[in-house]
Amino acid sequence: MSKVYRELQGVGAKAMRLALIASVVMVMLIISACGNSGNSGGNSSSAAGGTDTASATDSGNAAKSSVPAVLNYGFIGANKLNLPGGAEGWGFYKGIIQEELKKYGVTEVKLTSFPNGPDQTESLISGRLDFGSLGDTPAIIAYAGGAKTRIIGQGSAHTVGYLIAKKDGPKTVKDLEGKTIATQKGSFMHRYLVGLLKEEGVTDYKLVHMLIPDATAALARGDIDATTNNGVLALKQIAAGYPLLDDSSKHPNLLGSSVTVVSEDYLAKFPDFAKVWNEAREKALADLKQHEDEYYQFLAEIGDTTPEIAKQANPISDLKDTAFSDDGLALLEGTKNFLVEEKLAKKDFKISDWQLK
């Protein structure tokens, strides 16, 4: 009995030790669970923070990924560099604008030149372009006609139009009474010409639509009595002996301006585009001002001329350093009112409704 008792006693002691161990393990598990619960709350907050960060990143990436990788930009004037002038052209030439746009997912900018503003606005309306820079008159006419565009900047408010006569032809603006004059209909020069003739009281004239190369050739042949021109090409004509009858620098209300417009379809894909574009342009302009000689050499390449003539035709002082200015907006308002009066624009509208700040 004593042996059985001892064996039972041993079994009991062993059972007690096992029970004690089990109790300790259970306590440790409970403590661990409590600790993990606390840590889980912290990790959850961190994970929530991480999830929130990831969500924000995903959201940012989603917004970025919604921006088309290719941006289609139009400008006026074909040249061997396939670039516009101004801060926009310089920014593309130096890669400043491309670098800024890359931050938002734009990996390629396709630039397309057009002979005139009306052709460019047609491409913008049809969706072949996302945005572009052009003269104010065709941009206003297009918007008044129902084009779904917004104006996001006015790069210059001092575009000069020239009225040039054939050799041994008219000597004054009044001499154009009963004569044939060529211009690019729907361009800022068209607006300048009609406004000038009205101011001078010339009412009997024939107006024909011609692009500048065609008008230049027609003037040389004597097929027309006068034509409008601008920039380097106008200065070349004058230097070649063609009489200058007038230029719009003498009529501040008839100056042209260069505007940048974007389609509403593209803004729906890239809502912050106006801000991004204008900041990129401002960076390009700041760089341009640090390299004036190089800039005029760049313009000379575009215009197939000398830096001196490029400087005369397109001085840096004409470039605006902000998207909009009071004098520029006043010029836009005057141009719009004139186009509505002359029934060149289909309907009146508020510039502020068109403007995207």
- Looking at the fold, whether 237 and 286 belong to one and the same domain comes out as no
Is there a domain that residue 306 lies in? yes
Domain count, the chain: 2
Is there a domain that residue 29 lies in? no
- Looking at the fold, whether 146 and 263 belong to one and the same domain comes out as yes
Which runs of E-coded beta strand occur in the chain? 70-76, 108-114, 131-135, 149-159, 161-165, 180-183, 206-209, 226-230, 244-247, 256-263
Spatial separation of the C-alpha atoms in residues 81 and 298, rounded to whole Å: 9
Spatial separation of the C-alpha atoms in residues 335 and 313, rounded to whole Å: 22
| Residue that terminates a domain, selected from 221, 253, 285 | 253
- Looking at the fold, whether 151 and 285 belong to one and the same domain comes out as yes
Is there a domain that residue 343 lies in? yes
Is there a domain that residue 28 lies in? no
Is there a domain that residue 319 lies in? yes
Supply the pLDDT for residue 323. Answer: 97
- Looking at the fold, whether 188 and 261 belong to one and the same domain comes out as no
Supply the pLDDT for residue 63. Answer: 52
Supply the pLDDT for residue 306. Answer: 96
- Looking at the fold, whether 94 and 166 belong to one and the same domain comes out as no
Chain position carrying tokens 């000379």: 300
Is there a domain that residue 42 lies in? no
Tell me how far apart the terminal alpha carbons of the chain are, to the nearest angstrom. Answer: 104
Supply the pLDDT for residue 357. Answer: 83
Supply the pLDDT for residue 5. Answer: 38
Do residues 138 and 261 lie in contact, with contact meaning Cβ atoms separated by under 8 Å? Answer: no
Supply the pLDDT for residue 353. Answer: 97
Do residues 167 and 237 lie in contact, with contact meaning Cβ atoms separated by under 8 Å? Answer: no
Is there a domain that residue 3 lies in? no
| Residue that terminates a domain, selected from 193, 222, 253 | 253
Q: Give 210's contacts (C-beta < 8 A, 6+ positions apart).
A: 182, 183, 184, 218, 224, 227
Check which CATH number belongs to the domain holding 245 and give it. 3.40.190.10
Is there a domain that residue 214 lies in? yes
What's 8-30 look like in SS3? HHHHHHHHHHHHHHHHHHHHHHH
Joined together, the tokens standing for residue 82 give 């396939």
Supply the pLDDT for residue 342. Answer: 86
State the residue range of the domain holding 120.
Answer: 70-158+257-354
- Looking at the fold, whether 93 and 219 belong to one and the same domain comes out as no
Q: What tens-digit pLDDT sequence spans the chain (357 residues)?
A: 434 334 434 434 444 444 433 443 343 433 334 334 333 333 332 222 332 323 333 334 545 568 999 999 999 999 999 999 999 999 999 999 999 999 999 999 999 999 989 999 999 999 999 999 999 999 999 999 999 999 999 999 999 999 999 999 999 999 999 999 999 988 899 999 999 999 999 999 999 999 999 999 999 999 999 999 999 999 999 999 999 999 999 999 999 999 999 999 999 999 999 999 999 999 999 999 999 999 999 999 999 999 999 999 999 999 999 999 999 999 999 999 999 998 989 999 999 999 998
HSE (side-chain half, CA atoms, 13 Å) at 95: 2
Supply the pLDDT for residue 64. Answer: 59
Q: Give 103's contacts (C-beta < 8 A, 6+ positions apart).
A: none
